[in-house]
Structure 1
């Protein structure tokens, strides 16, 4: 490895993040960031090679300064080629407050913290969700989610902190799509791109826990709508991210790539749709 290699940043090193890191690590200096030291250690060991070793650091995506520290560390390593943000909390594992802070504000923090260190050609891909395509929010609320300053983002009368965590998750993932659309306008000033992928039901430890919990029947029903006839894999997500961060996707920015096996199509137009 030489210092001339561009930098790949992975924020969130669980099932999806690790699969993406493995898929994209060749030819890159790798910086891994996660809230969990144990997860970081496991990811570093999984990526360790004879000729290279990834850098790592802890991050709390709820805190802008923490994310900014990761961005500055990445910039100190060289030109940042790709940033992949997969850190998130599922409805089963968090309250509304935590969901909004991690899944909504956390993504906004990543988008803004990395802006000062962008280079021409840098690509950011955030993990959203199929549920972000489903809610019908008011135009005023959507505008707020897309453009509100970080310190005001979680201050809106339509953000219901007393709702169930599933509602908070859905709103947060809708916000991710809107935020990315809006941010693409600013990112173009640095010749950088920003997109998201929206997974359907993907086989990860997090989804396994969800399948065994109260949301299990709903996820099973969703998976049955999959036109592909199977559950998605972390490799499916990694392949999509690899495309979005590649030169072949140089005309793609400010948008979302559904990686759901056709579930949304099945919901809208399948039997009983």
Structure 2
């Protein structure tokens, strides 16, 4: 933060670091995927100026978490004492479900911070990828091959995503062409959520 402040203005933060449910450690998933996201958002807010933008990577799986006042409050305040314990009660010991909850928390952080960032005329958004062929996704495919194949078949575009599919969206969001987009989550999933929701109904 000091280096950035001393070497120019802060235009964009793109936070992509995260771990999946393959880690099998609920606390580590929560801390890396959600707590660290809030720490970074808070730190870089101090550097934000007019037209700055923060882009956080969430996941389409965050949209699989049903609204609930109790754990939504915890997810929106992940650094508060007892937050992790509250969320843990709802995930049934599953690291995959904790991943979903943490990524929903990232989306909620965007909503929580939009007005605050807006006071600086800065923007904050999240991007929720679908199945993107990264090493993390390929590892998940090894552990859940049937599920991954089901998602691919349910995707209207009939393919998994490529890293450049996400990079191009992020590039747009940090540009001035996206100057009126803030406080929202952008799904980049090849349309799969339409069919998944249809199948659930």
Deviations 1:160-202 (A, max 9, x none): 3861101110100111101111111111111110001000000
Aligned to 1:93: 23
Aligned to 1:48: none
Aligned to 1:237: 166
Structure 1 outlier segments of 4+, above 4 Å: none
Residues 204-243 of structure 1 mapped to structure 2, 5 A cutoff: 204-213=134-143, 215-243=144-172
Q: Greater Rg, structure 1 or structure 2? A: 1
In structure 2, C-alpha distance between the alignment counterparts of 1:153 and 1:177, rounded to whole Å = 20
Deviations 1:3-54 (A, max 9, x none): xxxxxxxxxxxxxxxxxxxxxxxxxxxxxxxxxxxxxxxxxxxxxxxxxxxx
Unaligned runs of 5+ in 2: none
Once the two structures are TM-superposed, the CA of residue 78 in structure 1 deviates from its matched residue by 0.9
Q: State whether structure 2 residue 82 is matched by structure 1 residue 150.
A: no
Once the two structures are TM-superposed, the CA of residue 153 in structure 1 deviates from its matched residue by 6.7
Structure showing greater relative contact order (alpha-carbon pairs closer than 8 Å, 6 or more residues apart): 2
Residues 25-36 of structure 1 mapped to structure 2, 5 A cutoff: none
Structure holding more helix per residue? 2
Check conservation: 1:100, 1:154, Cα contact below 8 A.
Answer: no
How big is the alpha-carbon RMSD for the aligned residues of Structure 1 and Structure 2? 1.9
SS in 1 for 2:125: strand
Aligned to 2:109: 179
Aligned to 2:50: 120
Deviations 1:58-109 (A, max 9, x none): xxxxxxxxxxxxx332222211111100000011124101001101101111
For residues 152 and 186 of structure 1, do their structure 2 counterparts lie closer, same or farther at Cα, with a shift above 3 Å needed?
farther
Q: Structure 1-normalised TM-score?
A: 0.69
Number of residue pairs matched by the alignment? 200
Aligned to 1:259: 188
Q: Structure 2-normalised TM-score?
A: 0.92
Check conservation: 1:96, 1:162, Cα contact below 8 A.
Answer: no
Once the two structures are TM-superposed, the CA of residue 267 in structure 1 deviates from its matched residue by 1.1
Q: State whether structure 2 residue 124 is matched by structure 1 residue 194.
A: yes
Check conservation: 1:228, 1:262, Cα contact below 8 A.
Answer: yes
Check conservation: 1:105, 1:153, Cα contact below 8 A.
Answer: no
Moved more, 259-268 or 150-159: 150-159
Check conservation: 1:91, 1:166, Cα contact below 8 A.
Answer: yes
For residues 189 and 140 of structure 1, do their structure 2 counterparts lie closer, same or farther at Cα, with a shift above 3 Å needed?
same
